[in-house]
Structures are given as C-alpha cells and as structure tokens.
Structure 1
Amino acid sequence: MDKLPEILTNAAEIVTSVFTLLLCPDLEENTQTLQRKIELLKSRKVDVQSNLQNAGKKRKREVEDWLINVENNITEFETLEQEIQCSRFYSRQKLAERVERMTKEVMELDEQSGFPGGLFLEVDEGIGQLMLTPSHNGQAFLQNFDDIWASLMDDNILSIGIYGMGGVGKTTLVMHAHDNLLNEPKFSGHVYWITVSQEFSIHKLQSDIAQALKLYFSCGSDEKKRAAQLFQTFQKMGSYVLILDDVWKQIDAEKIGIPPRRDGCKLVITSRSKEVCHRMDCQRIIKVNTLSKQEAWELFFKKLGRVELHPEVEEICKTMVKRCGGLPLALVTLAGSMRGVTDIHEWRDASEELKESCMGRVDMENEVLPILLYSYDRLRDPKLQRCFLYCSLYPEDYIIERRKLIENFISEELMDRRLSWRAENDQGHAILNQLERACLLERVWDEYRVKMHDLIRDMALGITKHNPRYMVKAGLNLREIPDVQEWTEDLVKISLMKNSIEEISIGMSPNCPRLSTLILSQNPLKSIPDCFFTQMRGLRTLNLSGTSIQYLPHSISDLENLRTLLLTRCLNLKSVPTLEKLRLLTRMDLAYTKIEELPEGVESLTNLKVLELVGTSLSIIPTGILHSLSLLQQLRLPIHIGVPIEEVLALKQLEDISGSVNSVSHLNRLITFLQSMMPPSFYSIFLVSKFDERFIWEASRRKLVGFGQESLMDSSLGEGKILLPRDIEELSFSRSGLSGSLADGFQMLNNARYVKKCYVYHEDEIECIIRLSSTEEQQSRGVPFQSLEMLSLFELPNFIGLFMWEGKAAVAPLLPGIFTQLTYLGIMKCNKMKKLIPWSLLQTLPNLQKLKVRFCEEIEEIIGDEDDDGSPVINSSVEVTMPRLKKLRLVRLPKLKSICKGIMICNSIENIRIMKCTNLKRVAPLDGQPSPPPSLKEIKVRTNEKEWWESLEWEHPNANNFLQPFVKFDPFSLY
C-alpha cells in the first residue's frame, strides 16, 4: 500500500501520454511546419522593409498594416511554442486549433506579400511595369538569357518553361527578359508579370492578373465569369507576353481565363519543378544550372566590392565560394554579409563558422534557407520527404548510385510496400525522378547516379537536427568516433561513413533506444567492443560495408529488430556470430568477405528477401538452407559454387539471381524456370566447366548469360541445344573455347535478337565477329546483332577484325540491320589485327558514338583499305562519314599510320584522346576542314608527346591555330 501513490502517479502519466497521442498526434509536426512558414515570413518582412521606400503613399499604408500583422503573428508564435512545451493533454486540442488557425493566417500574409514586397516599381505611364532587374551573373547568365530570348522571338514557340533549384537565378533571368520585352515592338508593351504564391488559388491568381492588366471585374467573385472576362481582355489585346513566376503546381489556364496557344501570344512560367513545365505543356523547357567555379568566384568578388584581398583572405573567400556550390542567391547573400570586413580575425571566424554548415551564418539562414525549404515543404508526400532526407546521410559531394540508394529505400521501409521487388524498385526510380524534377537531387554523369547540392544537403541536415533527429558526420576525416554524449536518446539515424575511424573505445555503449539506422561504412574500423550495441535494441539497419573488421561482436546476435545487415567488401571478415534470433532480417550482404562458412542460424531467417554471397570464400551451400528461405527475392552466389538447382527451382518469389551452373541441362532448366516467373526476372547466369579465379563478374540487375572456362568445348557439360532467354540483353564469353567467327561459333545469336551488349574476353582462337560469304549463305544463317549497342573485345590474340571474308572472293555485302544500333565499340590487346573497319562496310555503323582502340600492337589503320581483291581503295579525295561519333580514344598503337586516308567528315566529334601513337601523321576527324567541328570540346595528349602533336601534318594551313584552344596536355595516363 505504501507504493500506491507512486503507482497511481505513473498510471496517470501513462494515461496522459495516451490521450495526448490520441487527441493531437500531429501537433509537433504541424508546429514545425508553422515554424518554417514563420521563418519564411520573417524573410519576406526584411524584403518588404527594404523596398518600402520605393512605394507610393497608398502603398505605404497597406505595407505598414501588413508589417503590423506579421509582427503580431511572430510574437504569438513565440508564446505558442512555450505553451506547447508545457502542455498537458487537456490543453493540446486547443493548441492544435490555434496552430491550424495561425498556419492559415501566415499563409494569407505570405500571399499578400505579393503587393507590399512585390517586384514592381509603380509607374503611371505605359502598359508594362519596369522590373527591379539585378545585374547579370556572367557567361552562364548570358547563355541562359540567349536561350530564353531566342524562344521568345521564335513565332513557333508559344509556351516556355524555365526551371531550376531555388535561388539559382530563374526570376532574375526572366526579370531581365521582361525589361527587354518592354522595348520589343512586336508586343507593344503588353508584357505582364505575375508572382504565383506557393499556396495559390484560382480567385487570387485571377485578381493578380486583373491588377496587372488594370482590369476591374464587373462580375463579382464568380470564378467562371471572371475567367470569361479575362479571356475576352486577352483576346482583344493582340500580341502579349504573360509571365507566371514561381509556379509550384499545374495551373489550369482555361479556368484562370488565360487563352490557349495563339499566334503572337506567349506564356512563360518559372518553376523549381521540371514536371510542372511538362504538365503545363511548355513547348520549350530550359534548365537554369548553378554557376561554374569561375563564374561563382566572379559573382562573389563583384558583390564583395572588388576590393584588394589579402592572400589569406582570398583563400578563405575561395572556401566560402566552394561551399555555396554555384548558387547565386547564396553567393550574393554571403558576399553581402562580408562586404566591408577587413579584419583577418573576422574572416577566419567566418570561415570557421562555415565549416560545419553553410547555413551556419545568420544571413544565410535568414535569406537562403527559407527559399530552399519551400522545395522540401512542397513535396507534401511523406515518403518523398523521407527519401529526400535519407540522401543527406551521404558525405558532401558524394556520387550516389541510384541502384544502391533504392535498395536502401526498400530495406529502410521508406516507401510504400509493394508485392514484388520489381514493383518496389520501380517505385524507387519514380521517387528519385520526382526529386530530380523538383531540383532536390542532381543527375550525375549518366542516368545511374545522383548527388545532392551542398546547400540542399545543408537544408536537409538542418531539418534533421529537429525531427527526425539524425547525426551526420560523414566524410569529415574523423579519426575517432564521436563522444558518447553526442549519442542522444532521440537519435533515429547516424551516419559516420567515409571517415578514418580505426577503433571504438573499449567500454563505449551509447544509450540510443530509438536508433534505427547506423552507418559506419568505408572506415578502417578493425573491431567493435561487445558492449557497443547493448543499448541499441531498436536498431533495424547496420551498415559496416568496406571496413577492416575481422570479427563482429557477439552483441549483434541480440539485435532482434534488425532488418538489414550490410557487410559487403569487409575484406578481412572471417566469421559472423549466430543469427538465430534475427528472425526479422530481410536483407543480408556478405559479398566480398573472407567467410568460409555460412553463419550459424541462417536457416532461421525465414523473412530474408535478399542474400548476397558473391565473391566470398564459401566452399559449399549446405543442403536445405535455401529451401528454408522461401521468401528470397534476390540471390547472388559465388561463381565457384554451382547453383543448387533443385532448391532454387522451389523459390517461387525469386526475381533476381546470379550464379553459375556446370551443365547445359541445368542452364536450360534454370532459364525455363526464370522465364515462367511473373514479372520476368533478372539474371546473371554463367555456364562454366571449371572455376577460373580470374573470372569474377560484378553482375546484378541484369539479363545476362555468360560462358566461362571451356564451357563451349567440354563434352562433360552434356549434350543438347543451349537455351537462351527470350528477353536476354547481354552475352559474355571468357575462355569459353570460341573459334573462327563469333556468329558461326555461337549460332544461337541468330535467335538472340534483343541482345544489347556483348563481351568477348580471353578467347585464344576467335578470328572475327562475322565471316562474310555469299549473300545466300548469309541469309540462311540469319541476322545477328540487329539490336547490339555495345561490343567489347579484350585480349584476343588471333583476332583479325570485325569482318573476315571467306577466301579471296569479291567483297560480300552485309545483310541489312547488322550492327546498325551499335553505339560503343571497345577493342583492347588484339595484337594480330591490322585493320579495324573495312571502308566498304563503314555504313553498317551509322550510330557509332564511342570508339576505343588500345594496346593493339599490329594495327595500322582504323578505317582501312580492302584486301587485294579488286575492291576500291581509299584515297585522299574520298569522303568518309561517321555522322554520330562523339568520342575517339587511341592508346598505345605503335604501328598505327592512319585513322582514315580519305576526307573524314565527323561533325559530331566531342572528345579525342591519343597516347603513344607516334607513327600517326594525321588526325583524320580534325583534318581537311577550314574550322574545327562544331561540337568539339577537347583534344587530350600526353604532356611528354607535345613534340609529336606539333609535328602532325594538316591539310588546312590554319588547322593547328584553330585547334589550339581545344588541346590539353595531360601529364597522366589517358587510358
């Protein structure tokens, strides 16, 4: 009975917590949203006050009323925050109602800021209104402006979309265009600018357009009648330009009253979303990119006042400029905050302040952060926001593979659940595409990689300092793990990836009960104390990939909530403790580790969907293991262990498999099984007679069949026709026993019409790809390679060339369609080949874009004369066309005398790299023309071969001069 008061008190607290969650589950989240809108309103207030001196008397009275309302809301919010912190369940309902009311009021004030802090200077004369146009930002600005202006002057383009990330300068560009349009006779001054608020309404937009047109609505508030009146006004006007700035979602032009496309009339929109531009059916869409390093420096220096800088100050400035990532808004804001600062101590202090985050400075936080937060708030969909914030766990400037990022989205359960892995993968790509279109992620190099702009990442990290709580110290070269005091109880995700952490102090045991994700990958971490995980029982994802760890602590065995365990490329890892209790585990990656046996308890992982074992030292997969993992969707096995065919055929959820088989019978059974799956599976299957240690293939998310060591010549593989999947996209051969021509030696190619990539490596007997004979005989063989896009040939000692004629007969024409889709041709260490492409068959490669020829000791010509069979011979007057060739790389070809003896027309060429081809006297793609090819970007030559370059012969006497700006001498390898 003595403990009764304490029990009642505890019970009351539990009941209070339950009622709190039931009554107002979203109060904190809604309050944070309101806080961000208040911060943005503060920024608007500063803008309004700075522009107030430009307004007329009537305008000033309206502005002052607006400023009073803003100040009242800011004060009320400060009081509201304190009340929420001290609230009990019986008051939260009223607080939630106040938050909702205030949010609406703040949004209305934000909308109203269109008139008090607006972009217009009031003028009494003229139809258009002059903009407060800032000065332009260099060459990038002028290039973008030229693109916009050309579209405005093009009578065939009636709608233009301009998009880019917040603060990149879209509005400045269009303001500049607006002012120039006012002097353009074809529009007679009918140029109108409307700023569209984030939370716009049809009624408000109609009112804003009417105000710009000086139109009085005679129909009251009826939106349909207002639309009709606007429509009639525009129709009577003739030519005009209507600019809608800062559009966040699709606007139904007809509901507003904007006429559909009409000659002489232009609609221009700016948006942060490419998707909005598409949905509004813009005929021309222009992306505004961030500034180059040089342009960023010039803008910063200009806004700083072009003062004489102390060398140390200049270095600090360069660091600041780099942190701004080419974003004009950030550069202008930061430079403005430092203008007039001369004390070296103050500069160093500013530099230190910027080290952790570019948002560290008050000016940046007030001016830049709210602009970027708009894009995040606009995502609306929680799963988009979750996936976006997850990207901030990677280091600054980190190039992220889309495939791996989507794998993490799936395993972290950030997206909606789907029935199959493929459906979840599709959803992941759709989310990344949306984040790219919203300019919150940038595509890098190709369609397979993305990165996050530095300031966008800083904005994301700012969000994760509050809710959800992350600790991100990735890529900072930390040598020690953060102190235990930093591992607070409210943390949900921690990323310490890509540092220099070698050890974790013995006895360290952070109390992080809510921690769900811990990333320690890419650290030279050797060991983890056993107590480290004891207070992380909520951990769901543990990533130790790329560490130097040899043994895992036994406490991992008690992480019963763990869903994902990533140990790939832990090259020293020899064993993993028992996994018997980890029954919720869905993804386990042990690829490229030294483990020789599967961990104890693997058979208990009945929820496992992904199992990665490629590149391990496993000697066997015990019988029955795979049978117990019936939910497996992805399975990648070491190539030296044959696929347990009977157990794999029982995995009805399997969607992606990588492994090897040692008989044609097993290959055909496995392919038949995979082809029966719905949806069709991905596969990387290799037929091998015996394992070759050099044969390791990084294969995933592919549709590939490979033929390894002696697989096409070993009778023990079993008899019977090899079956290829209907949807196969890639073929590989490595020491398989090919001989003669590829098309003859592997006649299944005639049925593999959809193969896009083909790799032929280490084949000693192969002589060519296609053997040419009579047309009738070719037709009887079929048409291979009609879909081929990539052909890679490596170390083929008897290879003569792509094509070889049978005997000394006249040159036989190729059947139509062969190689016509080929875009990449790479050849390396084919030391018997003298000529690559016969001139008469060059037309078979109309789409070739990349050509790489390296380490071929005997090659003399790239596009060569024919054999002595009476065929025509190329001379200096013959024109040879390669209409789409963009990249040419020639490396270590000691006997190469000619790329092409004729006049080579190659207007698409962009990059040329030549190394150790000292017998080459002419660079055909650049010769014989009075000017450089229009698309040329770069010619790279080794620094120590500058003399060779200067000795080249040119048909045109000025060639050396006009090519000089494109030549770059590189001291490093050009492989």
Structure 2
Amino acid sequence: MDDEIFSIGIYGMGGVGKTTLATHVHNNLLKEAKFSGHVCWITVSQEANIHKLQKDIAKFLPVDLSCEDNDRKRAAQLFQALKRRRNFVLILDDVWTHFDLENVGIPLRVDGSKLIITSRSLDVCRAMGCQKEVKVKPLCYQEAWTLFLEKLGCCRPLPPDIEEIAKSMVKNCAGLPLGIITVSGSMKGTDDIHEWRDALEELEDPVARQDCEVFKILHYSYSRLRDQRLKDCFLYCSLYPEDCEIPRDELIASFIRERLIDKRRTRQAEFDQGHALLNKLENACLLEGVVKIKEDDTEAKYVKMHDLMRDMALKITKTKPKYLVKAGIWLRDVPDKSEWKEDLDKVSLRFNVVSSIPLGISPYCPKLSTLSLWGNELTSIPCSFFAHFGALQVLDLSCNRSLEEQPNCISELERLAALLELDLSDTKISDVPEGLERLVNLKCLNMVQTNLEMISEGIISKLSCLQSLGIPRQVSVQVEELESLKQLEEFIGGFPEANSFCRFVRSRQRFNRPSFYVIQVGSGLLKGLSGHFQQMASKRVVFSFTNVNPGGKKRANILPDDIQELEICACQGLGSCLNDTFAEFNTQARGLTHCLIEGSSEIRSLLKLSSSEDQFVIKGQNSACAPLQNLKHLRLICLSNFNGLFEWDSVANAIPPPSTFSCLRSLFIDRCGKLKKLFTPRLLQSVQSLEVLKVWGCNELEEIVSNDEEGYFSFTSSSKDSCSRSTISCLPNLKKLAVLGDPKLRNICKGLLICNSIERIEVISCRNLESLPPFLPSINGQPSAPPALKVIQISLLGWESLKWENPYMKKILQPFVRYGEF
C-alpha cells in the first residue's frame, strides 16, 4: 500500500461490488506480516452511531469502555489505543453519512495506519477526507458472463439453447455483481430447459423484478435523498429511453421549465443549480456521468441512468408522481385509452415510430402537465387528442420531421390555456399555429428548424411572458418586438444582414436582455440547432454567407460585449484580421471561448498588433486587456491567404501581450495555403495550456515551431531575432499532436520540445518530414519515452525515413508506433 495515502474511499452504486473489493483487500492484508492482527473490519450500515462504532472498535483492540458513557472520553481512550498499535488498517463498510473521525477516536496520519471506507456516495468519501477515491463500476458483459458461469459452478459447457437463455439473464443483470450472483445461484444444478425459460420470463417481468433484493438495495439509495429536488430530478430522467445519454444542458433546461428546481435571479444561476443537483446525483451513484470529445475537440457532457436504476424509477412513478413512459421501444401506435389514467402527471412517448393518432381519441387526463412526442413520425395530430388536457404545461412535438400540419386546436384556448412551453422545432410546419398569440401564459416557444417563412408582425410581442424564444433562421423578427418581451432571457434566431444584427446588439446594450442567444447573420444552415433549447446556455454568433461590413466600411460591425462563441463562414467584407473587421474587438471579445473562421481569402492573420517600447496593443485600439485571453478553442479552415496568428506593424523581440491565448486548449488549422510557420519559441510561451494541436492540408507549411521569428510575421521593420539550435520549447499540457497532408513539412520542432503530457502523435501524408522533435525526457543522461505516450500513428515508409540525432530515440519510441495512413 502507498505510504503517502492514509485514507481511501471506495464508492459505487448499490450491488456493484464495493464490499467484495474491500473484503479482497482485507483478506490480502491479513496475509502480510506487518498487518497481521492489525486489520479491523466494521460494518457501519445505514445510520452512523458514534457510540456503537466506538463499541465495535473497542472490541477489536480490545479496550474496555464499559465504565465510560461520555463519548468524548471514550474517543480519547480509543485514539491512544489505536495510536499505540501503528500499522493498523481500519475498514468501515457501508458508510451512508459522514461523521467526524476524531469524535469516534480514529486517528489519521499515524505512521503506517490506513483508513478504508465503502459508500454509495462520493460526497461521503470526500467529507470523510479520503485522499484517494476509487469508483467501482458495473461489469462489462464479458466480465459479467465469466462471473455468472463461475457462480453457476458448471464443469462442462452449457447446451446451446440454455446458454442463449443464460446470456439473456446476464444482460438483464446490467453488470451488477449482486444480481448476477443471485440469479446464477438460483439456477445452480438446473438443466431443465423449461425451468430456464421460466426463470428468464420471471426475470424480465417488471413486477417480479421489483421484489428482488437488488431492487430493494437500489431503492434505499433513492429514499436516502434528503432533498426533494434531487428525487424529482432523478425521476424525470426516466422519461428518456433506456441507455439514453442525456445532454446535461438539455436536461437542466427541462428541470427549469418543469419547475423542478428553485427559481433564481438569473438564468445562469438556475443552470448552476441544475449542474450542482446533477453532480449530487452522480456522486450518489444514481446517475452516471458521461464525457465525449466532439469533432472540434471540445467536451460534451451527458448523464445516463443505469438500466436497473431506470426500472426502479419507473416503478416509483407508477404511483406518485404518476408517469406513463413508453420511450425508445419502437412503438407504432399511441397507447390504448385504458393506459391514459386520470391521475397521470407526465407522459413520454419519445423516440418511437408513431405516425398517426387515430381520429376521435380523446384521453381524459385533467392533471397531465407534460406530454412528449419527441422523435416520432407524426404527420398530423387530431384536435380531439388535446380535448381533456386542461392542465397541460409542456407540449413537446419536436423532431417529428414529417409533421406538416400543426394542431389547430391550439387556438381553442379553453383547452390549452395553461400551456407554458410549446416545442415545434425540427418539424415541417410552414405556418404559425392559428391563435398562437392568445397563448398568453407561454414562457417557452421553439420553432427552430421548421419551414416557417414569416411570422406576422405583432404575434411575438403579444406573448409577453416569453422567457425563451427560438425561431427559424430564415424568419426575420423585428428588434422592436424582441424589445417588448421584458422577460426574454434566451433567443435563437437570425438576421438577414449585418445592419439588423447591429441594431439587435445595441438593443441588448440598452435593455441588457436576452441573457443567452444563438444568432445567425446571413444565410446557410446553422449547425447544432435541433429540438429543445440545447444551445440556450450559449452566447453565440454565426456570420454565414453574408457581408460582415456592408458598404465596404471596415470595423463598422459590432459584437455583443459578452460573446462566448464566434463563427465566420464564407463571408465577405472582412478585414485582414478580426480587429480590422469588428469595432472594439478586444473589448467585445474579452469573454470569447470558441472561435471558428472558415472560407475566406481576406483574413491574413487573427489579430493585428502594434508594438511600442513598453507594451503591445491591438492595432487601432487602446486597451490594457490582453486579446483572446479566455479563448479555449480555435479553428481556422480554408483561409487561402492566412500566414500567421499575429500580424505586427514592427517587430523587436516580438512577443504577444501577456495572457494572450493563455487558456487555449485546442488549435485546429486546416487548408491554410500560405502558412509556412505556425509558432516561434517566443510565441509558444503564450500557448502553455494547449492540449490538442492539429494542422491539416497546409501546402506551404514547413515547420510547426520555427527556430527564428523571421518570415513568421508581416512587419514594416527589418529587425529579427534568431534562436539557437539548442532552443528549448515547452508545451507542458499537450496531449495530442496531429499533422496530416502537409507535403512541405520538414520539422515539427528543431530544438528540444518538452511535452511530458503527450499521449498521441499522428503523422499522415507528410512525405518530407525529416524528424520528430527530440521531446524525450532524460533518465541518467539517456532519452526515455514521454510518460503519458500511448501511440504514434505513422506510415511504415514515413517512420523509416525519419532521421534521429540519437539513434537510441528510435528504439525507445518503436513500441508505440502503429503503422497506417488511416
């Protein structure tokens, strides 16, 4: 065991094997001489009782506490007794709530002493001060199958028909060892195919499953939640299909509109609360966090319900609150009328293939608050269907891509007067629902990615309660109508040209709303805007196929002063750089975190800078704020005249202003035809946070890190500063380096490049590459592989043609090489 670690927390959902893992550790420790007789196992169980804990520990030592009733004095006796022991290991199993170890009398950081706790909650482990946290996850299928066979105790292979049934049983246990052991134990010695089929039938029966021991264990985790908000949010996740990875922002937006979380002063504060609640559910192992890396190397965060957790949630919602959930099961017809109970609260029929709702069907659900038909194949909806949904607050018809006729009954206000949210996004509706303006309680209206061509003037302004509004990019909305929506917090929409967009920006400056926005200026398809308000935690502007500065006047356009994401795609009217394009760019882009520029022959550099004796400033602007100091992700694509990140008026030992690019994590440069050198050693100092660097299809690129400043910048003076061959450059956080289709690339870096975090190097179709940088750390004067390196992707010809300053380097790196051009 690591001498520097004094306390370890083992956590995971109920039945996942935490106690089994701790038992394995316990038994192994007993075999070690120095721990023999010094390993104490205490089962804490549901309610931590200090008096009982002290009694159990005293019994192990042994120490007589029978004459002392004062907990503090008992703790002092235990503390001294354990301190004298040294080399003791105390295992506290099944800890539900944290408690003060000192109040019990458990010393920490005593020479050789260790504390191990098991809990279903990460929060408990952290509150108990665990230095190391170990999450026990459900078994993968192959591990689960191996455990099943082991516990079945069968010495010969199962007959094919029984094996098929057994594998279905294992899948139903969803990787939980407790369930696998229980099921396999019950089938031990059984060879009758009828018994196996009957057992599988019972295992797949939702009613029978709910009485099993595993369900009771999982339910207790839910019942232990003290905060009703946590319970409500957990149950809401069951409305999504099985195994669904739910985007966190989408889910939190749903929590807000369903009023499952507390009202806060700002939308951002409500999102913060939502993230905090999801973190608590993840830490309690009721939800599983999932992180995916998108194409642009940014993270997308999701949550997922374990299958048995979802089954447990569906059981709970059969009573109160009452849900009807048939999501993701390829349902072709809406449920029979008998399933639409009078006391239903929420109905989810999302992600099915329902194409029609029969005429005349009119379920009586006067308490129904939420109805989701997201992701079906509906073409129309009969008016009678909504006749008895008088309490309906959320109606989600999004992603029905064949839906052309809106439900005209929306105009019958006596039926849907309580409606707070209407989502018609990603459908084919071409007309605004008749009577929409009379839904005066509506707070959220989403019509993004529909076939609407116009919204009559005055309709939007009559929906005075709107907090969230999404309209298709091709529909122009008057800025004055948006100004009239005094509660508007979120807006997705478009403006046909830059002048109307500038009016919107000035309006925001006056009224300080909406707080969040996704705006497209110009034409073209705006990516990433499908059903729900998934983007509504954003502050994003996209210029697409438009003239950014109409009339030929440079720097006439302005940006919102809190913009976080900027995209410029196939536009005209750009300057040679961003601060030649937008007025006061440095001030306005202070919070910019994502930037994409694509398809321009005008952009030559990202920023134009001026140098003086004491400081560097953005050309034409006087600001003490470093440019792009919060930028995290930068993508530059198809910029035919781009030749460098910065352009200077004059250069003398040029280095960008402090903090420029200090947060940059990913840089992607693709098909920038005039770029010859990307970084100099001095410029490299500004990108110390860089984690991913990709340079693709740059036909003139010769070096990633140049040895000198000359030729990198455009400048008016002739001064230059050359660095020696022994230049040492550092990218301490770089994890991935990819160069692809750069035919003139000779070197990545001639000097020493220190990047101990590098995990993956990809070199594809770079036929003139002479060498890899000598980035190897040194041990006893000899090069060694970077500690995090996992793979080098390169062709066999490319690998064999590389030159090495130290021949030993090739031998060191060879085990990491994977040949291929894919």
TM-score bracket, normalised by the shorter chain, equals: 0.7 to 0.9
Q: CA deviation at 1:897?
A: 4.7
118, 124, 127: which is aligned to 1:270? 118
**Mapping for residues 244-643 of structure 1, pairs under 5 Å:** 244-259=92-107, 262-305=110-153, 307-310=156-159, 314=163, 316-343=165-192, 346-347=195-196, 350=199, 366-418=212-264, 421-445=267-291, 446=299, 448-489=301-342, 491-551=344-404, 554=407, 556-557=409-410, 582-643=416-477
Amino acid in the other structure paired with 2:735: K
Cα deviations across residues 880-908 of structure 1 (Å, max 9, x unaligned)? 54321112334444554543455544331
What is the alpha-carbon distance in structure 2 between the residues aligned to residue 794 and residue 954 of structure 1? 31
TM-score (norm 1): 0.72
Shift in alpha-carbon separation, 1:713–1:465, aligned structure 2, 3 A: closer
Cα deviations across residues 920-960 of structure 1 (Å, max 9, x unaligned)? 5655589899665332345567xxxx665675647457858
Preserved contact between residue 627 and residue 657 of structure 2 (Cα < 8 Å): no
Shift in alpha-carbon separation, 1:426–1:904, aligned structure 2, 3 A: closer
Preserved contact between residue 615 and residue 696 of structure 1 (Cα < 8 Å): no
Preserved contact between residue 954 and residue 960 of structure 1 (Cα < 8 Å): no
Aligned to 1:764: 601
Q: Secondary structure at the match of 2:585?
A: helix
What is the alpha-carbon distance in structure 1 between the residues aligned to residue 435 and residue 99 of structure 2? 57
- By relative contact order (CA 8 Å, sep 6+), the higher-ranking structure is 2
TM-score (norm 2): 0.84
Aligned to 1:670: 507
Preserved contact between residue 167 and residue 368 of structure 1 (Cα < 8 Å): yes
Amino acid in the other structure paired with 1:546: C
Q: CA deviation at 1:435?
A: 0.4
Q: CA deviation at 1:277?
A: 1.8
What is the alpha-carbon distance in structure 1 between the residues aligned to residue 258 and residue 609 of structure 2? 55
Amino acid in the other structure paired with 1:290: P
What is the alpha-carbon distance in structure 1 between the residues aligned to residue 556 and residue 420 of structure 2? 39
Is 1:885 aligned with 2:728? Answer: no
Cα deviations across residues 145-182 of structure 1 (Å, max 9, x unaligned)? xxxx32xx32xx43332222112222222222223334
Shift in alpha-carbon separation, 1:368–1:917, aligned structure 2, 3 A: farther
Over aligned residues, Cα RMSD in angstroms? Answer: 3.9
Q: CA deviation at 1:436?
A: 0.7
Shift in alpha-carbon separation, 1:846–1:958, aligned structure 2, 3 A: closer
Aligned to 2:759: 910
What is the alpha-carbon distance in structure 1 between the residues aligned to residue 599 and residue 418 of structure 2? 44
What is the alpha-carbon distance in structure 2 between the residues aligned to residue 552 and residue 239 of structure 1? 75
What is the alpha-carbon distance in structure 2 between the residues aligned to residue 185 and residue 745 of structure 1? 73
What is the alpha-carbon distance in structure 2 between the residues aligned to residue 684 and residue 806 of structure 1? 35
Preserved contact between residue 494 and residue 519 of structure 1 (Cα < 8 Å): yes
Preserved contact between residue 931 and residue 959 of structure 1 (Cα < 8 Å): no
Cα deviations across residues 270-304 of structure 1 (Å, max 9, x unaligned)? 21111112222333333223334443343334333
Is 1:730 aligned with 2:565? Answer: yes
Amino acid in the other structure paired with 1:613: M
More helix per residue: 1
Amino acid in the other structure paired with 1:682: F
Aligned to 1:801: 644
Is 1:739 aligned with 2:570? Answer: no
Amino acid in the other structure paired with 2:628: F
Aligned to 1:95: none
Preserved contact between residue 392 and residue 419 of structure 2 (Cα < 8 Å): no
Preserved contact between residue 740 and residue 764 of structure 2 (Cα < 8 Å): yes
Amino acid in the other structure paired with 1:408: S
What is the alpha-carbon distance in structure 2 between the residues aligned to residue 494 and residue 430 of structure 1? 26
Unaligned stretches of 5+ in structure 2?
292-298, 530-534, 712-717
90, 93, 96: which is aligned to 1:242? 90
**Mapping for residues 792-871 of structure 1, pairs under 5 Å:** 792-804=635-647, 812-864=654-706, 866=708, 867=710
Unaligned stretches of 5+ in structure 1?
1-148, 558-576
Q: CA deviation at 1:229?
A: 4.5
Cα deviations across residues 76-134 of structure 1 (Å, max 9, x unaligned)? xxxxxxxxxxxxxxxxxxxxxxxxxxxxxxxxxxxxxxxxxxxxxxxxxxxxxxxxxxx
Is 1:786 aligned with 2:662? Answer: no
Q: Is 300-309 or 380-389 further displaced after alignment?
A: 300-309
**Mapping for residues 673-712 of structure 1, pairs under 5 Å:** 673-675=510-512, 681-685=515-519, 688=521, 691-694=522-525, 698=529, 699-707=535-543, 712=548
Q: Secondary structure at the match of 1:909?
A: coil
Shift in alpha-carbon separation, 1:880–1:417, aligned structure 2, 3 A: closer
Amino acid in the other structure paired with 1:598: V
Amino acid in the other structure paired with 1:172: T
Preserved contact between residue 193 and residue 244 of structure 1 (Cα < 8 Å): yes
Shift in alpha-carbon separation, 1:204–1:317, aligned structure 2, 3 A: same
Q: Secondary structure at the match of 1:523?
A: coil
Cα deviations across residues 863-894 of structure 1 (Å, max 9, x unaligned)? 3455568764886x765543211123344445
Q: Secondary structure at the match of 1:368?
A: helix
Preserved contact between residue 296 and residue 331 of structure 1 (Cα < 8 Å): yes
Preserved contact between residue 191 and residue 242 of structure 1 (Cα < 8 Å): yes
Cα deviations across residues 322-364 of structure 1 (Å, max 9, x unaligned)? 444433323333333344444556555555555566x9669xx
What is the alpha-carbon distance in structure 2 between the residues aligned to residue 742 and residue 719 of structure 1? 9
Q: Secondary structure at the match of 2:568?
A: strand
Preserved contact between residue 675 and residue 700 of structure 2 (Cα < 8 Å): yes
Sequence identity, in percent?
47
Amino acid in the other structure paired with 1:630: S
Aligned to 1:4: none
Q: CA deviation at 1:368?
A: 1.8
What is the alpha-carbon distance in structure 2 between the residues aligned to residue 742 and residue 908 of structure 1? 32
Shift in alpha-carbon separation, 1:421–1:858, aligned structure 2, 3 A: same
Preserved contact between residue 158 and residue 283 of structure 1 (Cα < 8 Å): yes
